[in-house]
Amino acid sequence: MYEIVEVTQRCKFRKYFDVDDVESLLLKIKVRSIFIDVTIQINVCRNSKDNFLLFLSADGNATQLLTGDRDLLIIKIKECQYFNYL
């Protein structure tokens, strides 16, 4: 959610995003979302910025992680049980 605010407030994007629309979007996301406290901290991705998706999937007991990100696909994790192993 912080990233949405940060990106929409950048000079090059600010003209495209009305503050009220962004606040409305954030409220809709908050009402429909489950927020997960991420506790796992491991470094398995080639791009360390992608690790959070694995942490979130593991701590959220996700059954699937759909991605086209090559740094995540190269790991070839097939089951979330793998997270328990790490």
More reliable by pLDDT, 14 or 84: 14
Domain ranges of the chain: 2-32, 48-85
DSSP, res 28 = H
Residue 49, SS3? helix
Give me 17's structure tokens.
Answer: 């995003």
In which residue are the tokens 């942490």 written? 55
| Mean predicted lDDT score pLDDT of the chain | 83
**What number is the average pLDDT over the span 7-31?**
94
Give, as one character, the DSSP assignment of residue 46: S
Give yes or no for residue 84 having a pLDDT over 70.
no
Give the C-alpha separation, 66 to 13, whole Å: 27
